[in-house]
Amino acid sequence: MDMTAKTNLAYVIGVALGDGNLSRPSKRATRLRITCDADYADIAQEISNALRTLFPTNRVSKVKGPKDTYFNISVYSNKLNKLMPWKVDCGSKFEQNARVPNWILKSNNYTSACLRGLIQTDGSIYLDRGYNFTNNTQDLATDVKNMMECLGYKPHLYIAGQRSGNPKYIVRLSSNVNRFISELSLKKERSQTAIIP
């Protein structure tokens, strides 16, 4: 796989770690389904295009959910079990403690692409508070913090919701946010997020 293909794969892994799930509804091929808020049609198209590039001979579907509030973007491939950092039929990403693969962490190009995907799914950019990445997996939040540090930024990791028994891990970047947004080619809006509970 050449560098361009691996950069595309790093992006897809970031998106999938954020709002993707693996299943085997037909009992044959594995399906990757990524859920994206309908307010972010450009992001949904970028995800669809990345999947078509990664799986050029496979059908990629983009279907709006009820009341047009979200898109489900899906592709079937038995290569997914080898490409994704968690496995189908072995529990959720959370149960398998899915993390960013080491090969992504060894390259700034792959790190930037993966971060872009993670931000588009589990991140928010606020005009007044900078950038937040929120997840319920501490190791994945730590990976995000480490990737941002490798790119020269100084994020902070916080834990919220401990009293409720459902901790959320928040990586916050409050300085050099405009440079970060520019470096990852993100849009600065009130919030850039594609989270669907």
Q: What is the pLDDT of residue 1?
A: 80
CATH of the domain at 45: 3.10.28.10
Structural domain of 116: 102-183
Q: Are residues 158 and 119 in the same domain?
A: yes
Among 55, 83, 111, residue at a domain's last position: 83
What crossing angle do the helices spanning 3-19 and 41-54 adopt, rounded to 10°? 130
Domains of the chain: total: 2
Among 26, 52, 83, residue at a domain's last position: 83
Q: What is the pLDDT of residue 62?
A: 92
Q: What is the pLDDT of residue 126?
A: 65
Q: What is the pLDDT of residue 188?
A: 55
Among 37, 54, 83, residue at a domain's last position: 83
Q: What is the pLDDT of residue 128?
A: 59
Q: Give the mean pLDDT per block of 10 residues along the chain (197 residues).
A: 92 95 89 92 93 96 88 94 93 91 96 94 70 85 95 92 79 88 74 35
Q: What is the pLDDT of residue 92?
A: 86
Q: Are residues 63 and 123 in the same domain?
A: no
Does 42 reside within a domain?
A: yes
- What gap in Å lies between CA 36 and CA 21, rounded to an integer? 12
The values of phi and psi at residue 185, to 5°, are 55, 50
Q: Are residues 106 and 69 in the same domain?
A: no
Q: Are residues 108 and 147 in the same domain?
A: yes
